[in-house]
Amino acid sequence: MKTLLFLLLLLSFALPRELLIATTYPIYYPLLYLTGELYDVKVLISAKTDVHHYEPKPQDLRNLREAKYIFTLGLESWERKLPVPKEKLYLLNQNLPLIGNDPHLWMSPKSYQAVVDNLYKALLKIDPKNQNIYERRYREFSKRLKDLDEKYRQSLSQCKNRWLVSTHLSLRYLARDYGLRAEGLRGVHGEEEPKPSELFRLINLMKKESIKSLLVEEGYQGKAVLKVQRETGAKVYTINTSLYPTKEGDDYFSIMERNLSAFVEGLDCRR
């Protein structure tokens, strides 16, 4: 009997796992954690690119065809137009605590929980036989998220500066959930260089409010940052708002810990 069970176990590992795709890293990290070894999990947009204006490449189209299911937040127009059958596509935008159509919920551990909740519910729907596994891992992930939320709350509760000024408006959920204020060089979907009027408005705000920190997204190379620095004397702090892994073994929690360090230093928070 033991030999038979051992052979069945070996056979289960030898069989190719079905493919699940998360369109972006904010969906990929919890999907990978919740499913573990049950599925082969890939992220669709794996390179640093403008996720707000994404167009599938040939390899992306192949992966989409091969995938059993695709999970996406569902707030960008391209997400709803992915060339896949509707029954394969799971939008995770139900009952989210949204600010307009801003997709950056993951930049606040508190708001991000709602995305993880929707992903967990979707997995239970498509694969109820593994409910016990999903339930355990969901509790684990949520516990880590709650701990991170508490760390953010405590770390950002006593800061000399309450303004989060970034190169595009990606920190509104963070500001809402932790008693801060957010502004950006460009709007929610702005990766191009800001207009002169936008730059003028932001520089005036920073001077008026004595803001001496500018939060720059990983990989941003625009000239506007240099002008803001010259005009305001602000120091630049790098943050990762797309959650692309930049270090070996990166996940949501390691990236958000580094982001928190930048926020604490940039806002001159009490440590």
Residue 188: pLDDT band (50, 70, 90) is low
Question: For residue 243, which amino acid is it?
Answer: L
Under 8 Å CB-to-CB from 30, ≥6 apart: which residues?
115, 116, 119, 141, 252
Structure tokens at 66: 């091969």
**What is the per-residue pLDDT across 201-246, written as a single tens digit (0 to 9) for each?**
999 999 999 999 999 998 887 788 999 999 999 999 999 999 999 9
User: pLDDT tens digit string along 46-60?
Assistant: 877 667 778 888 999
Assess whether pLDDT exceeds 70 at residue 190.
no
Backbone angles phi, psi at 116, to 5 degrees: -60, -40
Contact 100, 169 (CB under 8 A): no
Nearest CA among 227, 231, 179 for reference residue 207: 231
In CATH terms, the fold of domain 14-152 is: Rossmann fold (3.40.50)
- Write down the CATH number for the domain with range 160-266: 3.40.50.1980
* % of the chain residues with pLDDT over 90: 77
What 3-state DSSP class applies to 131? helix
* In the chain, ranges of CATH 3.40.50.1980 domains: 14-152, 160-266
268 band by pLDDT with thresholds 50, 70 and 90: very high
**The pLDDT value given to residue 46:** 85
User: Quick one: average pLDDT of 2-22?
Assistant: 68
